[in-house]
Each structure stands twice: as C-alpha cells, then as structure tokens.
Amino acid sequence: MLSTLKLPSHITEKKLKNLYKEMWLIRYFDEKVDQFFAKGMIHGTTHLCVGQEASASGSIAALQSKDKIISTHRGHGHCIAKEGDVNKMMAELFGRVTGYCKGKGGSMHIADVEKGNLGANGIVGGGIPLAVGAALTSKMKNQGYVVLCFFGDGASNEGSFHEALNLAAIWELPVVFICENNQYGMSGPVKEMTKIENIADRAIAYGIPGEVVDGNDMIEIMNTVHGAVEKARDGKGPALIEMKTYRWKGHSKSDAKKYRTREEEKEWRKKDGIKRFKDLLIGEKILTENEANKLQETAKHEIEEAVKFAENSPEPPLESLLEDVYA
C-alpha cells in the first residue's frame, strides 16, 4: 500500500492517480504536436519530451503550489506538470489568440506566471541565471518559495550554468537545479561532450550536493527532489540533481536521429517511465488495470478537446502585429 512507498506526506493515493493521468497528458500532447508538424499544420519548430514524462511530473509533484519553475526549449511536460492549460498550450502552437502568448510565442516561449511557471526558454542554458534571480527575490523578500530550474545535459557545458551555480551556492539561494540528461545534446552523445561520468559530480566544485537519479523512476524522483527542495526552503542552499533519461524523438522536428541505433532506442523504450509507474501503482493496489485504462483514455480525450479548441480559435488580426512588442 501507499505506506510502503515512503513518499513525502503530501503525495496521497489521489495525487498518484492524477500523476499517472498527467504523464499521459504530456505524452499525448507531444505526440499530437509531432503529427501536426509533420503535416505542416504547425509552423516554426518544436522540441518534444516523449520518454521524459517522469522527470517533469515527478520533480514538480515534489513542490508546493507557491514554488516556481523555469523550463527549457523542451518544456511542454514542465508546463503541463505545473498545472498548465493544455487548451492554451495547443492554441499557442497553432498561433491562435487564445494561446498563452496570444499565438506569438510558439512552443519555446510558454509561461504561466500565475501558476508559478516562469517560462520556457529558446536559449540553451538561458533559464539558469533567471532561476537564480527568482530565487534571490524569494530570499531577499522572504517569500518562502523554491525555484526548480530545468535544463538539459548540453546546457551543463554553457558558461551560464557554471556562473549561476557558483552564485547560487555562495548566496545559499533556494533553487534546485534539475539536469534532464537525455543522453544527447542535439546530435552529440553526452559521453563525447563531457569527460566526467555524471553531470551531477560538478556540484562538488561549488560546494553543493549533487545527486544522480533514475529519470524514469517516479518514486525516486519525487523523494529526491522533495528532499532537496525542503532543504533549500530551510535556508540550506541549492542542489544539483541529474535525471538520467532518454528522449524518444529527435532533438527537434527536423532531426532524423541518424546518430543513434534502433537497438539503443528499443532498450530505452523498455524503461518507459509511464509503464513502470503504472506497474508500480497496480502492484501497490492503488490502481486497477481498468482504472489505469480509464485515466489514460481521459488524458487522450482532453488532448483531443485541446486540438478542437485550438482549431476553432481565431488567428491574431493584422492590426495586433506590434502589440506586446517591447523595444
């Protein structure tokens, strides 16, 4: 039963069921977006997080509602996990006025400040200093929130990563850095781009805790992130957590994935975080097979409704071209 999982006290059986549905929302959203890009119905570019659902859902489940997140260019899952509105998200990708940014931001610029989502970022590593700034605000104004900062393995080689971690460490700011190591920065395998075995080992250089977790294991993720978040809230400073996971799709819509083998992809698909979470919940008698199927179908229906909402929403009028533009 639930007590055997040793979860944070706010993670109830109802919450676990909602998280299972949430993971399917994330997957169905990105799979639908992938289809629309292939058909030329959505323009620009997009970066999908299919296969990484546990990292987003498990990490954000550990937060309090007042806590904040900073996302990445691969941020749809983070937004949904932070109570994002899939109707507004889909409308944004369709370029409609009912979208989060009135159809002008697209996939990489969704934000929902009211829900604590301080935004995605199209610049690799661009969100890391912003997260430190938000954490500094929390500390200086005694607001009590913690910032969860997501970034990929590629961003850990950017200067912004090192500068931000150093500043957060010496000022003991309430921020937890989450590296979603999906094994590839664009087409380059992390083992060829980084000499050390674990990106989390870099925490040693800044005098902060560094931990490696299975990025497809919901229980390990929730427990590890919750521990780091509460230490940060108590004034004990930041932490770096590396989620070892895998993106099933290419880096972006134009990526044919020729740099990795089908055998490798098959092995990682066996570690699917959604299936593992489902098996655990059924094994703990928190869900039945029938309940799990219903939650999955509900998630699929909500994404289909989001598509209808987006398709039926108006496009921005020409006279709004220069609105919300700052010089």
CA angle 94, 246, 132 (to 5 degrees): 75
Q: What is the pTM of this model?
A: 0.95
Q: What is the band of 35 on the pLDDT scale with cuts at 50, 70, 90? A: very high
Give the Cβ contact number of residue 64 at 10 Å: 13
pLDDT of residue 5: 81
Domain tally, the chain? 1
Q: What's the average model confidence in pLDDT over 222-249?
A: 97
Q: What is the band of 43 on the pLDDT scale with cuts at 50, 70, 90? A: confident
In a domain, 322, yes or no: no
CA angle 66, 59, 203 (to 5 degrees): 105
- Domain hosting residue 144, numbered range: 2-310
Question: Helices 159-170 and 127-140, interaxial angle, to 10°?
Answer: 10
In a domain, 315, yes or no: no
Q: pLDDT tens-digit profile of 250-283? A: 899 888 888 999 999 999 999 999 999 999 999 9
Q: What is the band of 2 on the pLDDT scale with cuts at 50, 70, 90? A: low
Report residue 259 as tokens. 């740099």
Q: What is the band of 326 on the pLDDT scale with cuts at 50, 70, 90? A: confident
pLDDT of residue 4: 73
Residue 304 pLDDT > 60: yes
Q: Domain holding 230: CATH number?
A: 3.40.50.970
Q: pLDDT tens-digit profile of 176-214? A: 999 999 999 888 999 999 999 999 999 999 999 999 999
Residue of 173, 231, 176 whose CA lies nearest to 203? 176
Question: CA-to-CA distance for 248 and 53, rounded, in angstroms?
Answer: 11
In a domain, 132, yes or no: yes
Q: pLDDT tens-digit profile of 101-158? A: 999 999 999 999 999 999 999 999 999 999 999 999 999 999 999 999 999 999 999 9
3-state secondary structure of 302: helix
In a domain, 305, yes or no: yes
pLDDT of residue 255: 83
In a domain, 319, yes or no: no
pLDDT of residue 1: 53
Question: CA-to-CA distance for 18 and 151, rounded, in angstroms?
Answer: 25
Q: What is the band of 3 on the pLDDT scale with cuts at 50, 70, 90? A: low
Q: How far is CA 204 from CA 83, 199, 242, 317, in A?
A: 34, 10, 13, 52
